[in-house]
Amino acid sequence: MLDVKAGTLAELNAAVDPVTALLATEDGGPAAAFLSPKARKALAEQAKEEGFTGKAGETVSFKFRDGDKERRYVLVGLGKRKDAGTDAHRKAGAALYRAYKTRFETLWLAAGAQAAVAAEGLWLGSYAFTNYKKPDAEPKLKLVRLVCASAGEAKKVQSAVDRAALGAEAVTFTRDLVNLAPSDKSPEAVAEVAKSLAGGDVTVEVIDRKQAEKQGMNLLVAVGRGAERGPRMVHLTYKPKGAKRKVALVGKGITFDSGGLSLKPPASMETMKMDMAGAALVLGVFKVLARLKVKAEVHGYAALAYNLPGPDAVKPGDVIKGMNGKTVEILNTDAEGRLVLADALHLAASEKPSAILDYATLTGAALVALGSGITAAMTNDRALLAKVTASSKRCDEAIWELPLPKDYEDMIKSKIADLLNIGKVRGEAGTIVGGLFLREFVGDVPWVHLDIAGPAWTDGGTALSAPGGTGALVRTTLDWLGGL
């Protein structure tokens, strides 16, 4: 990862490297303590001559003389001042990296109170998936120094930056898993990745198909029946000394989703390597839990399977008994994520945690309703959701609650089994139907279901993510865990 270190004004004055300032459209110059008011005004005038307006993500670079010293300055736009909050600073950091990654080896960045957020943006913007293709040009930028007024301030900023770095590392880890080709991440292969996270306060148990059958994880096994490479249930446990609370994170891990016998159209399969983004998120979080010194006991579950139309694939009309004893009539084998999650949620609830969060690229309906930038949330505990939402706001990862109406419960009632795996009225309330189904498997444990079908993937890239997996809600989850 890019090296980001806090530095003092004295160190900046002794250096010759370019320095970056962040400006909103209305600013009359960079609000940087190392510049005199006269220099700020003159710098703003020169930027204007270069055509710089301060709009979000805009960059410009030129040499500027302040007294006897000439230095190269880089300016990055924040957009309108009223919008120049944490998200704007994070995106400015990403824009800075992308614009100058092949031009400078070292940059100074004056971001004030938003230094750690801007650093987070630098890391998120620097991500590139290179497992199968070399980058067009190797990045030259290796170090960014954050301008601080004093050594004392630099120490505080560095502490915040180091914490942000762990979050970015977790996001990177998650993105890498999502971006792997499906044949390179069989359920067994992802389970091996999970096992590599064991050590210290983290233990990992992997349950294979035979063990899953013995333990009654019939829904997980049913989804994986069409594939030669069988399913896995991964249980990770982080148990620090003195932990007073216990929580669980559950992730859908369909490492490739063809739809099974309810086969998807070819174009709809092209991105289905991302259908394990929920499980990847859980593993990404566990990558850094111990180093973040989270105080709670955390259990993680990754329900892993290929969904393929093999000789023994589960069929529409089959009835499968879940781990909690409830029977499910399968009407559509492409509604498989809720099946593997059902057994994982029951397993999590059996540990009697104080809260369960589950993450799943569950429904295309969530993408239709909320687009690619907002996660759909459903819950049986509004107080728990409020805390998760507060974390999402601090991390600028949008969450929008959808209801779980009692009147809709009949939509998943089967005539021959306890539950249907899709709603009776096709095409209606698909995301809510998924949430209602999952609620049947958590008992009375406080629970939030997070449908990340939209935010977990980007075809064309975003301000903070290259095309592919985004690592959505990793930072939100770490923020929430940090508050326990």
Q: Dihedral of the CA atoms 28, 33, 39, 42 (nearest 10)?
A: -20
Residue 306 to residue 169: CA distance in whole angstroms: 27
Q: Please check whether residue 411 is in contact with residue 440, taking contact to mean a CB–CB distance below 8 angstroms.
A: no
The sign of the torsion formed by the CA atoms of 439, 444, 403, 300 equals negative
Q: Mind giving me the DSSP string for 102-149?
A: TT-SEEEEE-GGGHHHHHHHHHHHH----SSS--SS-----EEEEEES
List the alpha helices (DSSP H) in 25-149: 37-49, 86-100, 115-126
Report the catalytic residues: 264, 338
Residue 275 to residue 263: CA distance in whole angstroms: 15
Q: Please check whether residue 341 is in contact with residue 230, taking contact to mean a CB–CB distance below 8 angstroms.
A: no
- Class of residue 444 by CB neighbours under 10 A (exposed 0-12, middle 13-18, buried 19+): exposed
Neighbours of 326 (CB within 10 A): 16
| Closest C-alpha to 43, from 16, 23, 14 | 23
| Closest C-alpha to 143, from 313, 310, 1, 331 | 1
3-state secondary structure at position 4: strand
CA distances from 86 to 111, 116, 168, 246, 299 (A): 11, 10, 15, 30, 30
Give 356's strand partners: 248, 447
